[in-house]
Structure 1
């Protein structure tokens, strides 16, 4: 039973991360338009940071899993 939980845990975590990121990316255009009213550079920087954060989350998760031997 424990082995089954270890196999499912990474898949559940990845699904939760993708769901949260998906909602974030769904709201991203509206946030960028709002920020673009102040500065187009600010909107571009925010969009870039959001995309980079997506990859950063999975990179950090992979490092964490490698340390734990998963």
Structure 2
């Protein structure tokens, strides 16, 4: 395994682990915030889901800018 592919595999594992933790605790977080404000609970839930895709979008932009 080349150092570059090893780095990519580690980055993907960290991203997936972080996303898995957020998605696992997402219902608890949204329900807790929803006790204060249902609209805020929905907004936080949407932001957390969008953050998952934003990480991959930003990583793709970074890779494109490096010319890979």
TM-score normalised over the length of structure 1: 0.89
Determine if the alignment matches structure 1 residue 57 to structure 2 residue 59. Answer: no
Structure 1's consecutive aligned runs of 4 or more residues displaced over 6 angstroms after TM superposition are: none
Which residue is equivalent to 1:36?
34
Q: Aligned-residue CA RMSD in angstroms? A: 1.3
Gaps of 5+ in 2: none
TM-score normalised over the length of structure 2: 0.91
Gaps of 5+ in 1: none
Q: Which has the higher contact order (CA 8 A, sep 6+)?
A: 2
Spell out the pairing of 1:1-70 with structure 2 (5 A cutoff): 4-70=2-68
Task: Tell me the distance in 1 between the aligned counterparts of 2:34 and 2:4.
Answer: 44
Cα deviation per residue 1:19-67 (whole Å; 9 max; x = unaligned)?
0110011111111111110111111000000011110000000111111
